[in-house]
Amino acid sequence: MPYIMPAQRMAFFFSPKAGGTSLRAFLFHAENGFPFRDYSVQGARVDANMLAANYRFNRTDHDALRGYRRFALLRDPVKRFLSGYSNRVLHYRELSIEAAGPQLLSEGLPPDPDLATFVDNYIGYLRCSRPLARHFLKQQKFIGSNPDYFERIFRLENMDDLVRFVNDTCGTDARMPRLQTGGPKLNFFALDDDLQANLLEICRHDIAFQIMPDYWAPYAHLVSAAEAPVALARTGSTG
């Protein structure tokens, strides 16, 4: 489900590894007037991810959102993929022997794969860990396939636009934190050609490339025109 602000009649949709943790904390601040911080209830830790369960779009109760202003947050799919690998595989080690040993053995895959091994065996590795696999679902699984469902679609790369919009709309002065930053920063253009091609083949079907053709522009020279995503026209705004 999105982060819903009933008093403001606003709903924000987002995907894993596309700024969702930071967005939850920011919207909490805008909604409540004070910053979010982790807390405990009877010994159970509550973090920003628990403020709104990030269900798939088709599991959202859309009837309950009639009359709401709806917004989405997108990220460059290639950067999102690399961030997912860095954070979930390298930082949290969700493909380690300790976390997924039996599944790795069943798939015949080595633990803690480097990026090339992960990309070459992408589907098999996703079968080894349901939590990991969820982070690599295409963004349309969380925002749907119709961009006109939203009044406005924001970019993670221009998060200041979203902060300004929410604060202006709600009359608040909320701050956007930077959360879930664990793991090294990986540069797509520093990878070898074959790895770039394989990674683009995985990512090119993400709807973000269709909604925001500018996302595709840095990679367009690496594939044929026939493989390029087809842009989706929409009536709302992007930013």
Contact predicate 135/84, CB 8 Å: yes
pLDDT tens digits, 176-208: 988 767 789 999 999 999 999 999 999 999 999
Identify the pLDDT of residue 234: 63
pLDDT tens digits, 155-174: 999 999 999 999 999 999 99
pLDDT higher than threshold 90 for residue 235: no
Average pLDDT estimate for 139-153: 97
11 sits in which H/E element: strand 10-13
Percent of the chain surpassing pLDDT 70 = 97
Domain spans of the chain? 3-238
233 pLDDT band, cuts 50/70/90, is: low
Q: Which CATH class is domain 3-238?
A: alpha beta
pLDDT tens digits, 45-90: 988 888 888 889 999 999 999 999 999 999 999 999 999 999 999 9
Backbone phi, psi, residue 221, to 5°: -75, -10
pLDDT higher than threshold 70 for residue 91: yes
- Residue 228's closest CA among 101, 217, 119? 217
- Residue 185's closest CA among 94, 87, 96? 87
As to burial, measured by CB atoms within 10 angstroms (0-12 exposed, 13-18 middle, 19+ buried), residue 33 is exposed
As to burial, measured by CB atoms within 10 angstroms (0-12 exposed, 13-18 middle, 19+ buried), residue 161 is middle
Q: In DSSP terms, which residues pair with 63 in a beta bridge?
A: none
237 pLDDT band, cuts 50/70/90, is: low
pLDDT higher than threshold 70 for residue 137: yes
121 pLDDT band, cuts 50/70/90, is: very high
Identify the pLDDT of residue 51: 87
